[in-house]
Structure 1
């Protein structure tokens, strides 16, 4: 159980413990990638999810809309499917939007496997692992960009530091920001900056930003893996 559970934890922060009917076992649905990429030109994106358990289970797939991007522009199918032990289930994400999609959009998806009840009626504790993955939707005319975090602009007004994303790309990054050379650390409210979005951070009372100040951020790439820190200039 440990190897599967460790890998599940890497992809998903949420674990649901369900006491079904004491032996312990894990019901694991394992997605083939750590992110779902959808190009609007293709109309949909797909992913295979494998039932790594030794018995059949139900795969529940549900979309999660961010508070800062609540539009329902995707349909997932099938939302529920029975997957035999060791088998794969193809899950489709179909783009359905009344308005043209002109910027990258970010959603999240939950995959959860619910084991079937035991036939002999024995008491077991089932550990179901819910995996939560990002879904990145890209407009048809938007070229791939390996380092979209270079598009962020940073400015200061009094004791307020503002980061703004004027690009059409979603920027995902660690929430920690280090101000150099002062070595002051601030925390972003979200692990992303969406197109057109701005975050405002209050500076400590003793912080003074001026010429030569840079903001060290810790981006992640398209697949959610950390890359080298990036030092962004401050627009004074």
Structure 2
């Protein structure tokens, strides 16, 4: 009898590589006026690969069968030939989502490896690698996101800083530096939801009037540097 052990690894970082399957982005934006968006999967291996794709609303522990989201994936399971690719289409079903802010979902890609072909391998370990990427539903009526970073405010609080995001966009801050000496104050990534505040612990206290530099992630998954003055 052959024994098969399958493990799904949850990759919560900015990850666009699921073992042998490469994904054409680290985050995806679904504009409210779009008919659909596409996700390109590429198989970099010299053997066929199987990918299962689904979307969740934040609960990573649920299986695709347990999830109810307003999106349809076509195809939900795709075979990728050796060194080939597959286009996956994401279609929004028109559910009543907030129109004054973004909604956050997660795109999952599970790379399912084939079983060994060598019949002599009676016992083997099979690893199923799962990538989990941000999917933002962005209503068509929202303003341009390029102004959002400058609208955030930073207030010194005991042990850190309070970041206020008064915009309708999710904003991810990946690192904070002091202007003087460019000292790194925080290495933790923090995603601030629309119209919300978040306290971030810092290695060095800040004071009102102090200038800081921070890194933030744009729509394309790239990191931008911005400046702010602490209140």
Question: Does TM, scored on the shorter chain, surpass 0.5?
Answer: yes
Partner of 2:38: 46
What is the SS of the residue equivalent to 1:150?
helix
Aligned equivalent of 1:117: 115
Q: Is the counterpart of residue 62 in structure 1 residue 74 in structure 2?
A: no
Q: CA deviation at 1:127?
A: 5.6
TM-score by length of 1: 0.71
Alpha-carbon distance in structure 2 between the residues aligned to 1:115 and 1:94: 27
Q: Deviations over 1:31-57 (max 9, x none)?
A: 223332211111432112122222222
Shift of 1:215: 3.0
Aligned partners of 2:85, 2:223: CA distance in 1, in Å? 29
Instruction: Give 1:60 shift.
Output: 1.2
Rounded to whole Å, the distance in 2 between the matches of 1:203 and 1:30 is 35
Contact 2:17 2:23 in 1 (8 A): no
* TM-score, normalised relative to structure 2: 0.72
Once residues 128 and 155 of structure 1 are traced to their aligned partners in structure 2, the CA distance between those partners, rounded to angstroms, is 44
CA contact (8 A) 1:109 1:133 kept: yes
Q: Does the C-alpha gap of structure 1 residues 32 and 160 become closer, same or farther in structure 2, counting only changes over 3 Å?
A: closer
- Give the direction of change, closer, same or farther, for the CA distance of 1:12–1:167 in structure 2 (3 Å limit): same
1:61–1:153 CA distance, 2 compared to 1 (3 A): same
Aligned pair partner of 2:75 in 55, 73, 78: 78
Which structure 1 segments of 5+ residues have no match? 1-7, 16-26
Which whole-Å CA distance do the structure 2 matches of 1:57 and 1:234 have between them? 50
* Contact 1:29–1:129, Cα closer than 8 Å, also in 2: no
Q: For residues 73 and 220 of structure 2, what CA distance do their matches in structure 1 show?
A: 20
Alignment RMSD, CA only?
A: 3.4
Structure 2 unmatched ranges of 5 or more: 1-10, 60-66
Tell me the equivalent position of 1:24: none
Retained in 1: the 8 A contact 2:99–2:141? no
- How many Å apart are 1:74 and its aligned residue? 3.2
Residues 172 and 160 of structure 1, relative CA distance in 2, 3 Å threshold: closer
Alignment of 1:1-236 (within 5 A): 12=15, 28-66=20-58, 72-96=69-93, 97-123=95-121, 128-146=128-146, 148-156=148-156, 161-174=161-174, 176-181=175-180, 185-186=185-186, 190-201=189-200, 207=205, 209-210=207-208, 212-227=209-224, 229-235=225-231
Deviation, structure 1 residue 135: 1.7
Decide which moves more: 72-81 or 163-172: 72-81
What CA distance in whole angstroms lies between the structure 2 residues aligned with 1:113 and 1:202? 36
SS of 1:50's equivalent in the other structure is strand
| Residue-pair matches, total | 209
CA shift in 2, pair 1:83/1:208, >3 Å:
closer
